Amino acid sequence: MGDHLPYDELFRMRLDLMRERNQLQARIKELEEVYFGQIRVIARSRITYKKKVERMVRLAEHALNPTDKEG
């Protein structure tokens, strides 16, 4: 009739594929957690850097024009 695989072999292959899919999904989840964790770290460091730069600018402006902030 052709090259048909026995049912038990097909079932085993299906289980292997499901197991592999689950492993890949778990790995994708791990990588996403790392990726989004890195994005959060980068975002925090950029915010921190921006705040430091803004503070330095304010200090420099005040040093150049000390009477501006005194009201």
From first to last of its 71 residues, the chain has per-residue pLDDT tens of 457 879 999 999 999 999 999 999 999 999 999 999 999 999 999 999 999 999 999 999 999 988 755 54
Half-sphere exposure in the Cβ direction for 56 (13 Å, CA): 6
Q: Is the pTM of this model over 0.75?
A: no
